[in-house]
Amino acid sequence: MTLTYTDLPRRLNLTEYFLDHNLATGQGERVALYCGEQVCTYAQLAALTNRAGHVLRELGVEPEDRVVLALSDSVEFVAAWFAVVKVGAVVAEIYTFLQPKEYAYYLNYSRAKVVVADSVTLPKLRQVRAQCPALRAILVVGSAGELEAGEVSFEALTAQASPHLDPADTTKDDIALWKFTTGSTGDPKAAVHCQHDPVIAYDAYARQVLNLQPDDLVLPGPKLFFGYARDLTVLFNFRVGAAGLIFPERSTPEKLFELIARHRPTILVQVPTLINEMANHPAAAQADLSSVRLATSAGEALPAEVHQKWMRAFGVEVVDGIGSSELYHIYLSNRPGQTRLGSLGQLAPGYTGEIVDGDGQPLPAGQVGELWVRGESAALMYWNDHAKSKRTFAGDLVRTGDLFRKDDEGFFWYHGRVDDLIKAGGIWVAPFEVESCLAEHPAVRECAVVAHEQAGLALPLAYVVLVESAAVSEGLEADIISFVRARLSPHKAPRQVRFVAALPKTASGKVDRKALRTDLTTA
């Protein structure tokens, strides 16, 4: 039976629901987290969370205040996240490899009173702190040398704080967290979520689709600032008493192979970019993924060719799905054992959706249109953007901006973003369709298609990363274009191919189309 909003009690605090309940049910000594050589039980994590909650209150954090986490993945990251929510404040996470001006944007946009930082982010935060008038303190995790005015030590203050803390008297309608959009087409915006949203998403996806179990060990490829990975690694799995495996280093195939060999996780949280990199890696043939019962994929659609390459390399099922900051988590997914290669599966329990035309009228099966989804985990709004909120949200309805077609069996097939469409020769072209075709060419490792204006006309242009055995040549460019023309309508083929060493990516691993368009305008 699917959990609904009305099933939830009026009083609700996410830290109690996902973390503290393990102590209440006698599971305090179960392992919650592995991080390097550190093994952290639920009891230890709850105690550190409570200590951190006291510290936040001492720093002046009150209910509904925003607290930003700018931290590498660590036990302290997880404790700080739960601590913010437990005291009734609002938590938001940001990437650890941003530029100073980007940190200034996030801090001023959120008007955060406190930012939790570490040695990776502190130097850049120091450069812009004077530009952030709402910021009262930087809470620093780990050794970062001598602290400056306005900076305090996480370890020193938590060591003096009580390990006991009563949760704030929050309700299911109180704001608990922000989820930032990826910013691939503009400045990131925060989708504002209530305490009940993660609970609804957990039940629909983690329980009913993935069927998380107490003996699962979850290893994420994306870092914890990316809500898709965080929820599966240190939130949803905690509800069933399972464990997460986290690490502060950058995610590389080598690192993931090492952790899989050492810890034998049962679930891999993945994105298409990492799936492709691992399948193409020279060590893939020797990697033993037999402990893994399934991998999830989200962030962007997984091309069928990449999926097949992964299956040939490892034989581990990939459950591909799609979610969004606006709907909190995965709302559309394949099911374990019932994967339809190349599709994004069916609607998760509790969600409804339809494909509509430009006037919002439903389209029949087989036709491409925008996907509109209804679900009780929908965000309230985009923070400080009334116009964009009205275009996207209508109660529990979210106009996703994603193009799909639905087949007769209820499987959804991705066709790109509405705002990525290219009108070539007077006909709309979805870049994702062209990219999926390009990915089948034996010389193509990665690709992205964007509009390139020539003589006032928008034409498809392909950025291509080649496999190691291929060499750039005019003949190869012509061959790639001919390859697409032979498989798709001629107007969809790229008019030009630009060979690059790597595609620019957003922090969440998606292709940064904004950067590609900027490259075209400045070239």
Q: Within 10 A of 219 (CB to CB), how many other CB atoms are there?
A: 27
The CATH architecture to which 198-379+387-417 belongs is 3-Layer(aba) Sandwich (3.40)
Token pair 């995790």: residue: 141
Structure tokens at 91: 């938590």
Q: What is the rounded CA–CA span in Å between residue 175 and residue 30?
A: 30
- Give domain 5-25+38-193's CATH number out of 3.40.1010.10, 3.40.50.980, 2.40.220.10, 3.30.420.40: 3.40.50.980
List the pLDDT tens digit at each of the 523 positions of the chain.
Answer: 899 999 999 999 999 999 999 999 999 999 999 999 999 999 999 999 999 999 999 999 999 999 999 999 999 999 999 999 999 999 999 999 899 999 999 999 999 999 999 999 999 999 999 999 999 999 999 976 799 999 999 999 999 999 999 999 999 999 999 999 875 556 889 999 999 999 999 999 999 999 999 999 999 999 999 999 999 999 999 999 999 999 999 999 999 999 999 999 999 999 988 999 999 999 999 999 999 999 999 988 888 888 999 999 999 999 999 999 999 999 999 999 999 999 999 999 999 999 999 899 999 999 999 999 999 999 999 999 999 999 999 999 999 999 999 999 999 999 888 888 887 766 778 888 899 899 999 999 999 999 887 766 678 999 999 998 899 998 999 999 999 999 988 888 999 999 999 999 887 778 888 888 877 766 6
Q: What is the rounded CA–CA span in Å between residue 131 and residue 91?
A: 21
Q: What is the rounded CA–CA span in Å between residue 17 and residue 4?
A: 15
Q: Going by C-beta distance under 8 Å and a sequence separation of 6 or more, which residues neighbour residue 281? A: 253, 254, 257, 287
The per-residue b/e assignment along 81-95, b for 16 or more CB within 10 angstroms, e otherwise, is bbbbbbbbbbbbbbb
Q: What is the rounded CA–CA span in Å between residue 343 and residue 417?
A: 15
Is residue 429 within a helix (H) or strand (E), and if so which, with residue range? strand 427-429
- Give domain 421-522's CATH number out of 3.40.50.150, 3.30.300.30, 3.40.50.1000, 3.40.50.300: 3.30.300.30
Q: Where are the domains of the chain?
A: 5-25+38-193, 198-379+387-417, 421-522
Establish whether domains 5-25+38-193 and 198-379+387-417 are of one fold.
Answer: yes
Give the three-class secondary structure for 183: coil
